[in-house]
């Protein structure tokens, strides 16, 4: 596998859709993703159900998904309570989120970035000791809707904290889809230079301003080999119907495979999952491949 795609549609995709899918449909989505070749799947969030009601059935989803050799399930967590739920359900990975911008951290997690990081490092330490694969995601790493520009030095510092604590993977998230390829290059190079070859590097792009796939290409150029995407590109904000969500797995796989990189995913099967989601969500998905067709 030249590129590992972390499929985030069950979590970041469905989390931001207006229609809440029933648990059975979520499980069916995961089942179809595995059939299409997905091997790392961010299946659930253990955020508080009051804050993220779309993910309130995380335990039921994890109970229903098939256990397949080689498939790794991740759960997003924000705190110790989330970790306990994650451990109880038996996910293989936890994705611990810290917001790089102060304003976003306070609004999203009700604490400062430093407080969130201190809590995250404890959680990561415990998750590791329990044998889980751990990811530290730095959200709003490319810009914040409240603070505007986010300091590159600050993101690199936070990444260094995670690396020092032994996290397995560092993920840089362009939460609001403002990033451009030069930022990808600078973040990749400076973080690599700061943390060495310890944790793996992973990126999470949204295509909100049509830079998502250019950013993915920039990451590949930097040698990054783990990218998040969401089949159909679902996950647009329910309050802005035209906004796109995560970069679409369908379109990312098209680009990567035509560039000679192997993703292990089947494009035709992925477009079938997009059609399933279109039906389930009751609206067109933003991915373009299902409309335009594969080539050649």
**Separation of alpha carbons 33 and 97, rounded Å:** 24
Question: Considering only 80-88, 92-100, 113-121, 246-254, which stretch makes contact with its own copies by CB under 8 A?
Answer: 246-254
**Is the distance from CB of 267 to CB of 288 less than 8 angstroms?**
no
Query: Contact with its own copies (CB under 8 A): which of 111, 152, 214, 269?
Result: 214
Structure tokens at 122: 């404890």
> Which of 27-35, 85-93, 123-131, 250-258 is the region at the interface with its own copies (rule: CB under 8 A)?
250-258
Residue from the set 5, 121, 138, 218 that interacts with its own copies by CB under 8 A: 218
Q: Which of 211, 263, 274, 280 binds its own copies (CB under 8 A)?
A: 211
The stretch among 13-21, 32-40, 51-59, 175-183 that binds its own copies (CB under 8 A) is 175-183
DSSP structural state of residue 146: T
237 catalytic per annotation: yes
Among positions 151, 182, 189, 268, the unique one binding its own copies when judged by CB under 8 A: 182
Distance between CA atoms of residues 63 and 268, nearest Å: 28
Among 70, 196, 223, 296, binds its own copies (CB under 8 A): 296
* Residue with Cβ nearer its own copies (43 or 144): 144
Contact range with its own copies by CB under 8 A, out of 42-50, 87-95, 120-128, 245-253: 245-253
Among 2, 114, 149, 157, interactor with its own copies by CB under 8 A? 149
Residue 264 buriedness (CB in 10 A; 0-12 / 13-18 / 19+): middle
Q: In the complex, what is the shortest distance from the CB of residue 259 to its own copies, in angstroms, rounded to a whole number?
A: 4
Residue 168 contacts residue 134 (beta carbons within 8 Å): yes
Determine, following the binding rule CB under 8 A, whether residue 152 of this chain makes contact with its own copies: no
The length of the chain is 296
Subset of 259-278 contacting its own copies (CB under 8 A)? 259-260
3-state helix, strand, coil in the chain (%, to 5): 45, 15, 40
Q: Which is nearer to its own copies, 60 or 176 (CB)?
A: 176
Tokens standing for residue 263: 């993703």
| Residues near its own copies (CB under 8 A), total | 39
Query: If binding is defined by CB under 8 A, does position 177 make contact with its own copies?
Result: yes
Give the range of 42-50, 99-107, 124-132, 205-213 binding its own copies by CB under 8 A: 205-213
**Which runs of consecutive H residues, i.e. helices, occur in 113-240?**
113-129, 152-164, 181-195, 212-221
- Find where tokens 């969130």 sit: 116
Residue 206, CA distances (Å) to 1, 117, 241 in order: 23, 23, 15
Picking from 233, 227, 225, 228, the residue whose alpha carbon sits closest to that of residue 250 is 233
Q: Do the bridges between strand 200-204 and strand 226-229 make them parallel or antiparallel, or are there none, so unpaired?
A: parallel
Q: Which residue, 133 or 254, has its beta carbon nearer to its own copies?
A: 254
Residue 70, Cβ density class (10 Å: 0-12 exposed, 13-18 middle, ≥19 buried)? exposed
Helix (H, G, I), strand (E, B) or coil at 15: helix
Nearer to its own copies by C-beta: 74 or 139?
139
User: Rule CB under 8 A: is residue 248 a binding residue for its own copies?
Assistant: yes
DSSP letter at 199 equals: S
- Chain residues that interact with its own copies, rule: CB under 8 A: 143, 148-149, 176-178, 180-182, 207-211, 213-214, 216-218, 240, 242-244, 247-248, 251, 254-255, 258-260, 284, 287-289, 291-292, 295-296
The catalytic residue positions are 237
């Amino acid at each position: 596998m030249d590129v590992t795609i972390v499929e985030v549609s069950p979590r970041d995709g469905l989390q931001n859709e207006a229609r809440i899918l029933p648990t059975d449909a979520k499980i069916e989505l995961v089942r179809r993703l595995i059939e299409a070749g997905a091997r790392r799947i961010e299946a659930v969030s253990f955020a508080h159900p009051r804050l993220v009601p779309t993910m309130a059935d995380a335990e039921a989803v994890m109970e229903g998904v098939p256990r397949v050799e080689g498939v790794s399930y991740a759960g997003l967590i924000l705190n110790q309570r989330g970790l306990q739920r994650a451990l109880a359900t038996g996910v293989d990975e936890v994705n611990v989120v810290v917001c790089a911008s102060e304003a976003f951290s306070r609004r999203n997690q009700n604490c400062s970035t430093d407080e969130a990081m201190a809590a995250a490092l404890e959680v990561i330490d415990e998750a590791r000791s329990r044998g889980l694969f751990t990811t530290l995601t730095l959200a709003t790493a490319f810009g914040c809707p409240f603070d505007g520009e986010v300091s590159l030095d600050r993101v690199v510092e936070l990444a260094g904290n995670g690396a020092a604590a032994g996290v397995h993977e560092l993920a840089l998230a362009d939460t609001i889809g403002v990033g451009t390829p030069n930022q990808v290059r600078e973040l990749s190079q400076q973080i690599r230079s700061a943390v060495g070859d310890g944790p793996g590097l992973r990126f999470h792009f949204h295509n909100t301003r049509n830079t998502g796939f250019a950013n993915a290409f920039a990451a590949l150029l930097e040698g990054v080999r783990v990218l998040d995407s969401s089949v159909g590109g679902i996950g647009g904000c329910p309050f802005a119907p035209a906004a796109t969500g995560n970069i679409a797995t369908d379109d990312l796989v098209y680009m990567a495979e035509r560039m000679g990189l192997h993703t292990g995913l089947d494009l035709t099967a992925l477009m079938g999952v997009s059609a399933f989601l279109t039906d389930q969500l009751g609206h067109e998905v933003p991915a373009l491949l299902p409309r335009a067709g594969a080539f050649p």
